[in-house]
Structure 1
Amino acid sequence: MKAIILHESKGRIRFRISQKKMTLQEADVLENWFQKKSWITQVTVHERTGCVILQYSGSRKEVLAAIREFNLQEAQSQITLPLHSSRELNRKFQEKLVGKVILKAASMLFLPKPLQIARIVWHMLPFLKRGIRCILRGKLKVDVLDALSIGISVFRKDFGTAGTVMFLLELGELLEEWTRKKSMEDLARCMALNVDRVWLKTPESEILTAVSDIRPGDKIVIRTGSMIPMDGILAEGEVTVNQASLTGESVPVVKHPGNTVYAGTVVEEGECILEVKQVMGSSRYDQIVTMIEKSEQMKSAVESKAANLADKLVPYTFIGSILSFLLTRNILRALSVLMVDFSCALKFSMPLAVLSAMREAGKEHITVKGGKFLEAVAAADTIIFDKTGTLTHACPKVAQIITFGGRDESDMLRLAACLEEHFPHSIANAVVQEAQCRGLSHEEFHSKVEYIVAHGIASTVNEEKVLIGSAHFIFEDEGITVPLNEQERFDHLPEEYSHLYLAIGGELTAVICISDPLRREAKEVLSALRALGIQKTVMLTGDSYRTASAVANRLGVDAFCAEVLPADKAKFVADLRQKGHIVLMVGDGINDSPALSEADAGIAISDGAAIAREIADITIAADSLWELVKLRRIAMALMARIHSNYRFVIGFNGALIGLGLAGILPPAASAALHNLSTLGVSLRSMSALPKPKQDNDCCI
C-alpha cells in the first residue's frame, strides 16, 4: 500500500493512503487488519479523508514495513468483518444530523417569511398529534408539555421560538436514538462470532456461502484454525476442538463423527464436515441481540424508578407553568417552565448507563441478561457458592479406586466411565479422563441410562442393576449393602477425598476417591468480596460433612451446609431472601439450577451444565473467580453513576425551571439548555465506568 506520512511522534504515526476513495467496508478491513498486529495499541481509520492514525509499541521500521505490506484484496480474503458495522451506523446518523442542520439553516436563510411560517405549522402537527393522543389516553406525559409549549408559541405568533424548540427536540431525539443504538451495537458486537461466510459442501464441490443462506441439514466444511459458526453434529472427520470460549476447558477435546460441536469453538487440528442443526436466528450473536431487545422486560428497579419518576414529574411541571402565568401574567415565563422536563434525561440516561455496564461486563467475558441483575449484584449482602466446579477446579482427579467383593479395579473404572460419560459434570469428567489415561475403552454395553438429579445414575448391565452416585443415593435411597467382612475397610475410607460409590446387584463394588483441588484464587476472592460489602459467604455441597468441613475451613467461609439436595439448596436461598437478604448464587451443575433460579441473581460458571447456564441470570468464564470481583465492581460503579445522574438531572433541570420562573431564561434558551443537558448526561452514561481507587487487578 502506498501512503504519505502526514505527522509523526514517538509511538504515533498519521498517514494518508494514496487511494482516492475508500468505502466503509474497505475502512473496516484496514482497521481490522492493523488491530490484529500485536504491536498496535490503537488504530483509527477516517474513510472520508483516507487518513489512518496508528499508536504502536513496536519499532518504527516494523510499522512502515506493515504499511507497505498491506494489500486490500489479500486482507479482504483473510478478514471476516462483523455482521453489523459501527462505522456504517455512525455514517447513517451523521448524514441524518448534518442533513437536519442544513435543512434548518437553508429554510431560515432562503425561504420567505410566509413559507417559513407554513413550514413551522406543518412541522408542529406531529407534536400536536402525540400530545392529543396522550390526553385522550388519560396520560399527562412529556409529549403534552411539548405540544403545549409549541402550540402556545405558534398561537402567540412567536414562530421563531416554536421552530427552535421543534428543531432542538428533533435533534435531541436523533442523538438519543444514535447513542442508544451505538450502545446496543457495541454490546452485541463484543459478543459476536464475526463469521459471515462458510464453505458449503455440495455433491459437486465446496461453495463459499453466506452464513445467512445456510439451512438446517446443510453440511459445511471446517478446517484447522477455523471457528465453528453454528451448532451441529460431526458428519465426517475427526478433529480436536478448543472449547475454552464456551466451557473454559484448557485442553482441546477430540470430536468424532456423531459428536455435537458448538458455535464459538475453534478447530485446532484436523478437518471435518459439520451437519448444521442451528442456523442464523439461533446463533450466539442473534441470542445476544434478542437479549438486548428484551432488556426492557429486565429493567432494574432503578430504571423503572427513573421512568416512573419522570412521568410523575410532568404534572408538576405543567402546574408550575400554570402558576407562573397566573402569578406573573407573563406567558414567556410560563413557556420557559414548559420547555423543561425531567423525562428525557431520566428515562434515557439510566438505560444507557445499564447498557454501558453490560458492555463492559461483556468485555470481561461476563454475560449479564438484564439491568435488574446488575442492581442485585450491587446490593447483595450474601453470596452462596456450590463447591464442586465452582470453589474447586472444574477438573477433579481420580486419586484412588477401592474395590469390594473381589472386583477388579480396571473393570470397575471402565463401568463407571461408561455410565458417567453420558452426563458430563466435573466429577464425571474425572472418571472418564482416568479411564482414558489408563487406556481403558468403555464401549456401550448397558441399557438405557437414567440420571437422578444430584443423586446419581442408574442402568442395567448383564441383567443386573448398576448404580453410581452419592452415599445418600446409594445407601439411603437404594438400600445398597457393603459386602460381608469388608465393613471395616469401608469405615476407613480416606477422609481427604470425595467419594463416588458404585454398586452392582444391590451390593457395593467400588468407591472412587476424587481429589478436587481448590481454586488457587478462591480464598483471596472471598476476602475481596467482603471488602466490597458482602457480609456473608456460604458454601453448599452434596459432599459429606467431613469433606465439606475441610474445604470450608481452608477457604474461611462464614457458613456451609453438606449433603444437600437441589431442593435443599433452593430452600436455603429462599429462606435467606425471606429474612431480607439479597442473595447471589454461584454454581455450575444441573443440581444448582433450582437455587440459581431462586436467587436474586444466579451466576453460572461457563464450563458448567447447559441448563445451569440457561437458567442463570449471569454467566462468568471458568478461568478465574476474580471475575466475581470485577462483576461486583462494575455493578457498584453502575449504581454510583445512576445516582449521580439522578442528582444532576433533578438539580440542573430544577435550576432551569427556577430561572424560567424568575424571567431570566427565555423559552428558547430553556429548551436549548435542557436538550444539551440531556445529551450530556446521556453521553456520560455511555462512557466507561470509573475504575476503583484501589484496584487489586494485579491479583487477577
Structure 2
Amino acid sequence: MDRAVSRSPLRRSLAPPRLEIGLLAVTAAALAAGGVCRLVGAAELADLCWGLGTVAAVVPAVAWVLDALRRGHAGVDLIAVLALGGTLAVGEYLAGALIALMLASGRALESAAQQRASRDLRALLERAPRTARLRTGDEVRTVPSAEVEAGDLLVVGPGEVVAVDGLVAGEPAVLDESALTGESLGVRRAQGEPVRSGVVNAGGAFELRATAREQDSTYAGIVRLAQEAGAESAPVVRLADRYAAWFLPLSVVVAGLAWLLSGSAVRAVAVLVVATPCPLLLAAPVAVVSGLSRASRLGVVIRDGGALENLGLARTLLLDKTGTLTSGRPRVLDVVAAPGWQSAQVLRLAASLDQFSPHVLAQAVAEEARRRGLRLSVPADVSEEPGRGAVGTVAGRRMGVGRLSEDAERPSWARSVDNRAVLDGASVAWLTVDTVPVGAVLLRDPLRSDASRTLRRLRAAGVDRLVMLTGDRREPAREVGAVLGLDGVRAGLTPAGKVAAVRAERGRAVTVMVGDGVNDAPALAAADIGVAMGARGATASSEAADVVLTTDRVDRLADAVAIAVRSRRIAVQSALGGMALSLAAMAAAACGVLPPALGALLQEGIDVAVILNALRVLRDGPADRPALTPATEALIHRFSAEHDDLRDVLDAVRDAADRLTDDSGPKSLTTVADVHRRLTERLLPHEYAEEHELYPALAPTLGGPEATATMSRAHSEIDRLARRIATHLTLAGPDGELAPEQLDDLRACLYGLHTVLRLHFTQEEENYFSLAP
C-alpha cells in the first residue's frame, strides 16, 4: 500500500506549486524593477523590465493552453495568452506586466487554496501505517505492515497507528479514533472487541490479533477512496468548462468589435485584459475540493467531486433498515419473569448460559446482565444447537435459553409474552428450568437515537422523498417507518428487489442509497450515489459506494448532504459571480473607460474575490450541527449513560403495574413500594439534575430556555405521578389493602408513568443526546 500511496495521482497533485511560486516571484520582481526605473526617469529600462516580465509569463501560459487543448479543452488561459501578446504588440508593457503578475498570482493562489482545502486528505494519506510489530513467542520484531497475515499477534505501542484490522488479545486498549470518525473522545476496547486499522493507541501498549491483511483492512480501503478524491470529474467543473466554451469566443468578439468600431487596438487589448480570469473558473474545483476536505474531517470519505455534487442534487434518499436506521445490534427490550421468579434472576441465569455463545442475541443478553452488574455463574455441560439455543447445568439444575418448541405448553404469562413480541417486533429468548419456562428476555434492534434528527435535517437540505428498503418483515418495518415519518416502506426485499426499487426511483430524481451490509452492495452500485455505513468494516458495501461513513453515526449523512449542497451552491456562485463582474469590466474596457493597466488590476481583484468566496466552504455553514462546549458535551455523555442505567427502573414500573393486575394484595404493594424507592433514590434525582444542569447548558445552543420547555413540563408530570404513587402507598395503611378505586388509579399511575418515561427518554435521546458525538 505504501508504494501505491507514494505514486498516487492525488499525492502528486499535492506537491508544492514550485512553478507557480517561481513565476510569481519573477513577475513581481519585473513589475517592481520597472516601477523603480520609471521613478528614477529610466522609462526605456522600465519598459524593458515590464516586457521581460510579460515574456516570462507567456511561456508557461502557452504550455498550459497546449496542455488543455491536448485534453480537448480550450480554457480561459487562451485569453491570457492573447492579452499578453496584445500588450507586447501595442507597447502596453505595464499592462502586460500586470497581466503576468495577475496570471502568476492567480495560479499561485489557486494552488495554495487547493493545498489548504486538501490538507485533511493529505494527512489521511501521509499517516498510513508502514510497519507493524509482530510477536512470535517472546520475540517482538518490526516488519512491513504488508507482510502481516490474518491470525498474527501484534504489539501496538503507545501513540502508534494500528496497521491492520484485528481483535484486542489481552489488556483493554484505549484508542483515538478521530482520524476515522471525526470524534475526539478516546474509546476503550476490551479483550475480544474489534479494532480498525488507522486508529491511534492513546493508552498503554496492547496486543492485537490480526483478522485481515493490510490491503483488506479498513484504513487501506479509506486510503484507496482518498486517492481517487479530486474535483476534476465533477459535473460542476464540467459546467465551468462549458462557461469557458462561450466565454472565450465572446471575449474575442467583443475585443474585435471594440477595435473595429473605435479603431484602437489598445481598447481590444483592454478587453482581453479584463477577460483574463485565470483562476476564475478554477473557483469551482476549489469549492468542491474544500467540500471534500470538510466532509473528511467529519468522518465522511467521498470518492470524488462528481459524487459530492450529485449528493448535493439528491432529492430521493433510500435507506436500509438494519444497521442504518437501527443500531444493527440487538438490545434487551424487557425481561419477563414467571410468577415466583424475579426479572433480575431470569436475566442472570440466561446470561450465565449465553456468556460463551457467539450468537448475536446471546451476546446481547450477556452484555445487558453485565451492564446491570449481575454476577454470572459458570455453567457446566453446556451444549448449543444452532437455531434452538444453549443448554447447560447451573446451580445443579438443567437450564436452557433460546426458543421453545412449538408443542411446548405455554402458561398464560408466556402467551402474553408471545403477544408482546408480535406487537413490539421483538425476538424472545426463553429461560427454562427442567424444561419448564420460567422467564423470557425480549430483544429488539433499536432505532438509532440520531435517526429522527438526521431525517429532519435531510428534508431541510432539500431531500423531499425518504423511503426505507429492507429485507425485514413488514410489521417491524412499518413501525419504524411510522416512527420516523418516512414517505414509503418496502419490506421483505431481496438484494435484487432492492436494485429494482433503486432503479425505479432513479427514473424520478437523483437518488441516494444508504446501506451497511454485503447484501446492500448491488443497490449501492445501482444508485446515483451509494453511501456505505463502513464503520464496522462492511467491505463489499464500502467498495460499491461513492460515500463511506467511517463513524457509526447516520447523522454524518446529513452533514455530508449539507456540505454537498453548500459546496455546489458556492461553486456555481463563484463562477457566475466572477464572470458577471468580468463581463461588466469588458463592457467598460470596450467603451474606452478602462485602460489596460487599470483593467489588469481590477481583474486581479475579481479573481482573488471569487477564490476567497469558494474557500468559504471550509467554514461552518448555517445548516451545520449546533456547536457544543466541551462541558456541555460531557454533561450529555453523563446523562446518556444514566439513561442506560435507569432502564431497569422503567421495567420495574411496568412490572409493578402488571402485578397489580394479577394480585392486588400486600405482596404486590411491596413491589410498588420497591418501585417508589427506586424512583425516589435514582430516577427523580436524575430528572432534577437534568432540569438544573443539562437544560441550562443546552439553552444557548438550542436558542434559549423555551427550547427545553416541553421537556421541563415532562419532568413536572413525572414528579406528579411519583408523588401520587407515594400517596396511594400511604393510604394503603399497615395492612396493605387498597380500595377498588385506589387500585385502578394506582395501576393507571404506574402505566402512565412508564409511558411518560419511555417517551421522555426517547425525546431526550433524539433531540439532545444525539447532538454530541
Question: What is the TM-score with the length of structure 1 in the denominator?
Answer: 0.65
| Distance in 1, Cα, partners of 2:93 & 2:475 | 82
Alignment match, 2:570: 641
For residues 216 and 235 of structure 1, what CA distance do their matches in structure 2 show?
20
Deviates most, 90-99 or 226-235: 90-99
Matched residue type, 2:509: H
1:194–1:468 distance in 2 versus 1, CA, 3 Å = same
CA contact (8 A) 1:354 1:638 kept: yes
Partner SS for 1:607: helix
Summarize the Cα distance change of 1:410–1:303 in structure 2 as closer, same or farther, 3 Å threshold.
Answer: same
- Matching residue within 197, 202, 208 for 1:262: 197
- The equivalences for 1:76-475 within 5 A come to 97=24, 101-102=28-29, 104-106=31-33, 109=36, 113=45, 116=49, 117=51, 120-121=54-55, 124-128=58-62, 140-189=74-123, 193=127, 216-217=147-148, 222-223=155-156, 225-231=158-164, 239-240=172-173, 242=175, 252-255=188-191, 262-264=197-199, 266=201, 268=203, 271-272=206-207, 284=219, 287-288=222-223, 291=226, 294-296=229-231, 298-299=233-234, 301-341=235-275, 344-397=278-331, 417-418=357-358, 430=364
Asked if the contact 1:500–1:514 (Cα under 8 Å) also holds between the matched residues in 2, the reply is: yes
For 1:193 and 1:442, the matched residues in 2 are separated by 49
Preserved contact between residue 383 and residue 584 of structure 1 (Cα < 8 Å): yes
Question: Which of 597, 607, 611 is the aligned partner of 2:540?
Answer: 611
Change (3 A) 1:252 1:693: closer
Separation of aligned partners in 2, 1:691 and 1:619: 22
Deviates more, 1:388-397 or 1:649-658: 388-397
How far apart, CA to CA, are the structure 1 residues paired with 2:354 and 2:246?
Answer: 68
1: CA distance, partners of 2:459 / 2:270: 50
3-state DSSP of counterpart to 1:584: strand
After superposition, the Cα gap between the structure-2 partners of 1:167 and 1:264, relative to the gap in structure 1 and judged at 3 Å, is same
2:615 aligns with 686
1:473-622 alignment runs, 5 A limit: 485=407, 492=418, 494-495=421-422, 496-499=424-427, 514-578=443-507, 580-608=508-536, 609-620=538-549, 622=551
CA distance in 2: counterparts of 1:242 and 1:468, whole angstroms: 37
Question: In structure 2, what is the Cα distance between the partners aligned to 1:315 and 1:513?
Answer: 72
Kept in 1, the 8 Å contact 2:330–2:364? The answer is yes
Tell me the amino acid that sits aligned with residue 594 of structure 1. Answer: P
Alpha carbons 2:92, 2:596 under 8 Å: kept: no
Q: Which has the higher helix share?
A: 2
The answer to whether the 8 A contact 1:417-1:435 is kept is no
Does structure 2 conserve the Cα–Cα contact (< 8 Å) formed by 1:243 and 1:252? no
Q: Distance in 1 between matches of 2:154 and 2:296?
A: 30
Q: Verify: 1:658 aligned to 2:658, yes or no.
A: no
Give 1:439 shift.
7.3
Q: Which amino acid aligns with 2:528?
A: D
Q: How has the CA–CA distance of structure 1 residues 261 and 154 changed in structure 2, closer, same or farther, with 3 Å as cutoff?
A: closer
Do 1:324 and 1:661's aligned partners in 2 also have CA atoms closer than 8 Å?
yes
Query: Structure 1, unaligned stretches of length 5 or more?
Result: 1-83, 403-408, 422-426, 447-460, 470-481, 503-510
* 1:539 alignment partner AA: M
Shift of 1:654: 0.6
What is the distance in 1 between the residues matched to 2:55 and 2:279? 27
* Aligned-partner residue type, residue 199 of structure 2: G
Relative to structure 1, is the Cα distance of residues 577 and 555 closer, same or farther in structure 2, using a 3 angstrom cutoff? same
Deviation, structure 1 residue 661: 0.6
Contact 1:97 1:174 in 2 (8 A): yes
Structure 1 position 656, deviation (Å): 0.9
Q: Is the 8 A contact 2:281 2:575 kept in 1?
A: no
Superposed CA deviations along residues 344-380 of structure 1, whole A, max 9, x for unmatched, are 3443111111122222223333322223333333332
| 1:596, distance to aligned residue in structure 2 (A) | 2.1
Q: Distance in 2 between matches of 1:615 and 1:293?
A: 14
Deviation per CA, 1:314-349, whole angstroms, max 9, x where unpaired? 112112212221222110111112123376344311
Q: Alpha carbons of 1:256 and 1:384: their partners in 2 closer, same or farther (altered >3 Å)?
A: closer
Further displaced range: 670-679 or 90-99: 90-99
Partner SS, residue 564 of structure 1: coil
Secondary structure of the 2:161 match is coil
> 2-side partners of 1:603 and 1:439: how far apart?
44
AA paired with 2:281? Answer: K
Contact map agreement 2:164 2:214 (CA 8 A) in 1: yes
The 2-side partners of 1:281 and 1:554 are apart by 38
Letter matched to residue 230 of structure 1: A
TM-score (norm 2): 0.60
Q: Which moved more, 1:430-439 or 1:163-172?
A: 430-439
The secondary structure found in structure 2 opposite 1:319 is helix
Cα 1:143–1:429 change in 2 (3 A) is farther
2: CA distance between counterparts of 1:104 and 1:628? 50
Distance 1:244 1:612, change over 3 A: farther
SS in 2 for 1:384: strand
Q: Determine the C-alpha separation between the residues in 1 that align with 2:231 and 2:15.
A: 25
Conserved 8 A contact 1:153-1:162? yes
- Aligned letter for 2:269? L
User: Matched residue of 1:344: which SS?
Assistant: coil
Q: Is the 8 A contact 2:77 2:276 kept in 1?
A: no
Long gaps (5+) in structure 2: 1-10, 337-348, 390-403, 431-439, 628-701, 703-766
**CA contact 1:168–1:671 (8 Å) conserved in 2:** yes
CA-CA distance at 1:615 after TM superposition: 2.5
Work out whether 1:672 is the aligned partner of 2:605.
Answer: no
Letter in 2 for 1:641: I
Q: Secondary structure at the match of 1:604?
A: strand
For residue 541 of structure 2, give the secondary structure of its aligned residue in structure 1: helix
Structure 2 CA distance for aligned equivalents of residues 232 and 93 of structure 1? 41
> What displacement does 1:146 show?
2.4
Contact 2:570–2:613 (8 Å) recurs in 1: no
Distance 1:278 1:100 in 2: 52
Q: Note the alpha carbon deviations across 1:656-690, whole angstroms, 9 max, x for none.
A: 11011101111232233223211221122113446
The correspondence of residues 5-84 of structure 1 with structure 2, limited to 5 A, is none
Structure 1 residue 483, shift from structure 2 partner: 6.7
Q: Distance in 1 between matches of 2:590 and 2:203?
A: 70
Q: Is the 8 A contact 1:234 1:273 kept in 2?
A: yes
Q: Is the 8 A contact 2:232 2:285 kept in 1?
A: no
Higher strand share: 1
8 A Cα contact 2:225 2:303, kept in partner: no
2: CA distance between counterparts of 1:317 and 1:441? 85
Structure 1 window deviating more from structure 2 (169-178 vs 483-492): it is: 483-492
**Deviation, structure 1 residue 643:** 3.5
Displacement, 1:131?
5.3
